[in-house]
């Protein structure tokens, strides 16, 4: 099997592990697997959108590389592959901390981040719900140095795999306790607070994706004792008209009920994209 095929198998196996651990050790009890937007997040955001944006981003970067002399560097491929992966993961994660923080503090950038905060059930899959413009920006920045600075070709695959698995982990509904590791490695204990919607401003904290250390260094960590307090509500209460889909599949098990959900989710995917371009209300 090729490395790409292996990475696909590993990602699917990791997703299955997340689902199993969510069932065994739920962080928020009573969450359903087939909740609002399951089809939307799985088929439209994770498969279709990722595939199409991947073609656009890699097509663009390869075009820039082959049609200009600016980026014919070969700076990274003399390093061992694992060093390239570690350096690029850390550098991109530092960027994403600041870009994410900026999105929460800029009304235009917030528009392309709202979708990510819209799920009312946060689980292994919900993190995939991100506006395509947000992904376009972040993944172009993520993969530009790999293509343009001449990293080894397998680095993009390793990096894609790490991002997919880490994204599932930090959103997962698993009651994992990282202890002191939570100062360095990000996990659901802190990121689920970032998605909470309790009327406070909890989500104006915990901007880190892979390394929680950025939040601790730059003063944006929010980490109450998980034994004493956990978030109870997730989503966007400040934006009640955000276009969500229907809540779960009815238990009749009929094909028509699945088709109905697929239709609603497809409509909500389109609406969620269009919603980012609504007019700003005057204060």
Binding site for Zn ion (CB under 5 A): 127
In whole angstroms, the minimum distance from the beta carbon of 223 to Zn ion comes to 16
What residues contact residue 56 under an 8 Å CB cut-off, 6+ apart?
136
In whole angstroms, the minimum distance from the beta carbon of 167 to Zn ion comes to 8
What residues contact residue 230 under an 8 Å CB cut-off, 6+ apart?
27, 28, 192
In whole angstroms, the minimum distance from the beta carbon of 170 to Zn ion comes to 7
Residue number with CB closer to Zn ion (37 or 127): 127
Residue number with CB closer to Zn ion (195 or 264): 195
In whole angstroms, the minimum distance from the beta carbon of 118 to Zn ion comes to 11
d(CA 99, CA 114): 14
Residue number with CB closer to Zn ion (115 or 151): 115
Residue number with CB closer to Zn ion (220 or 266): 220
In whole angstroms, the minimum distance from the beta carbon of 129 to Zn ion comes to 9
CA atoms within 13 A on the CB side of 177: 6
Residue number with CB closer to Zn ion (127 or 226): 127
In whole angstroms, the minimum distance from the beta carbon of 244 to Zn ion comes to 16
Sign, CA dihedral 153-159-160-162, equals: positive
DSSP H or E segment with residue 230? none
Q: Identify the burial level of 40 via C-beta atoms within 10 angstroms of its C-beta, where 0-12 means exposed, 13-18 middle and 19 or more buried.
A: buried
CA-to-CA separations, 227 to 32, 171, 223, in angstroms, rounded: 23, 19, 11
Residue number with CB closer to Zn ion (127 or 188): 127
d(CA 151, CA 149): 6
In whole angstroms, the minimum distance from the beta carbon of 34 to Zn ion comes to 20
Q: Which residue is nearest to Zn ion (CB)?
A: 127
With contact defined as beta carbons under 8 Å apart, do 177 and 189 qualify?
yes
d(CA 139, CA 210): 15
d(CA 91, CA 159): 12
Quote the tokens at residue 238.
Answer: 């400040």
Residue number with CB closer to Zn ion (140 or 220): 220
For the chain, count helices (H), then strands (E).
11, 0
In whole angstroms, the minimum distance from the beta carbon of 94 to Zn ion comes to 16
Residue number with CB closer to Zn ion (158 or 203): 203
With contact defined as beta carbons under 8 Å apart, do 195 and 208 qualify?
no
């Amino acid at each position: 099997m090729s490395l790409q095929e292996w990475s696909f198998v590993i990602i699917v196996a990791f997703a299955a592990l997340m689902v199993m651990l969510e069932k065994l050790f739920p962080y928020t009890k009573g969450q359903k697997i087939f909740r609002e937007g399951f089809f939307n997040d799985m088929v439209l955001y994770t498969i279709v959108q990722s595939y199409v944006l991947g073609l656009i981003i890699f097509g663009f970067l390869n075009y820039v590389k082959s049609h200009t002399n600016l980026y014919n560097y070969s700076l990274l491929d003399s390093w061992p592959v694992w060093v390239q992966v570690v350096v690029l993961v850390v550098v991109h994660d530092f960027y994403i901390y600041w870009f994410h923080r900026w999105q929460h503090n800029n009304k235009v950038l917030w528009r392309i981040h709202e979708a990510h905060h819209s799920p009312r059930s946060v689980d292994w899959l919900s993190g995939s719900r991100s506006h395509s413009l947000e992904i376009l920006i972040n993944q172009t920045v993520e993969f530009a140095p790999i293509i343009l600075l001449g990293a080894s070709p397998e680095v993009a695959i390793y990096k894609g795999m790490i991002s997919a698995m880490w994204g599932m982990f930090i959103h997962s509904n698993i009651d994992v306790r990282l202890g002191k590791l939570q100062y360095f490695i990000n996990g659901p204990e802190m990121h689920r607070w970032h998605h909470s919607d309790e009327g406070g401003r909890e989500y104006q904290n915990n901007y880190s994706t892979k390394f929680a250390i950025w939040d601790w260094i730059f003063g944006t960590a929010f980490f109450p004792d998980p034994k004493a307090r956990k978030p109870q509500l997730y989503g966007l209460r400040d934006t009640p008209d955000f276009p969500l889909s229907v809540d779960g599949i009815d238990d009749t098990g009929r094909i028509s009920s699945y088709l109905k959900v697929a239709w609603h989710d497809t409509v909500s995917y389109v609406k969620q994209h269009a919603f980012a371009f609504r007019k700003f209300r005057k204060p």
